[in-house]
């Protein structure tokens, strides 16, 4: 499956320009894993720091406007925001269940899952990938 090296959109074979962003396609289109969007290597390298921050404090790229400047940062800001909403929602549910013993166990599992997803996201950033987080990564909040 071919993807645009600039915006990550799917591109048909033999196309010289991306139908989405208009970028010129290089000799051979980038190939990505299933569900992964091919990141522009220069964009990924230049914006790794802000993309990592997006998983820890998702609102920083939103406040600075970096999510509008870089598709790589925007993608990971969306993933960080989705992770935050999942963690917050699951924490509220487990807090309500603290009345019964299962809430304590659920709170521990939510924290562990959130930490694991955060680490996976940061590893994707370090490797220059735009790969969705397991289970929750398919949702897009930022357009």
Residues in Cβ contact with 72 at an 8 Å cutoff, skipping those fewer than 6 apart = 39, 40, 43, 44, 47, 51, 130
Q: Tell me: the pLDDT tens digits for 81-107?
A: 999 999 999 999 888 888 777 878 888
Query: For residues 97 and 56, what is the distance between their CA atoms, to the nearest angstrom?
Result: 26
CA dist 138 → 49, 78, 96, 124 (Å): 23, 10, 27, 15
pLDDT at 34 over 70: no
Mean of pLDDT over the chain? 84
Q: How many CB atoms lie within 10 A of CB 128?
A: 17
Q: Tell me: the pLDDT tens digits for 6-31?
A: 666 777 777 777 777 777 776 544 44
Nearest to 83 by CA among 57, 114, 61, 129: 114
Query: For residues 93 and 30, what is the distance between their CA atoms, to the nearest angstrom?
Result: 42
Q: How many CB atoms lie within 10 A of CB 104?
A: 12
CB–CB of 103/95 below 8 Å?
A: yes
Structure-token pair, residue 54: 């997006």
């Amino acid at each position: 499956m071919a993807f645009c090296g600039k915006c990550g959109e799917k591109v048909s074979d033999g196309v010289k320009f991306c139908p989405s962003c208009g970028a010129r396609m290089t000799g051979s289109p980038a190939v990505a894993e299933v569900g992964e969007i091919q990141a522009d290597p220069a964009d990924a390298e230049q914006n790794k720091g802000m993309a990592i921050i997006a998983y820890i404090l998702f609102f920083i790229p939103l406040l600075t406007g970096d999510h509008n400047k870089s598709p790589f940062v925007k993608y990971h800001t969306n993933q960080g925001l989705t992770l935050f909403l999942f963690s917050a929602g699951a924490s509220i549910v487990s807090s309500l269940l603290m009345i019964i013993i299962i809430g304590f166990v659920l709170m521990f599992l939510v924290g562990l899952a959130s930490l694991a997803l955060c680490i996976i996201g940061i590893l994707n950033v370090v490797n220059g990938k735009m790969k969705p987080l397991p289970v929750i990564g398919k949702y897009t909040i930022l357009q």
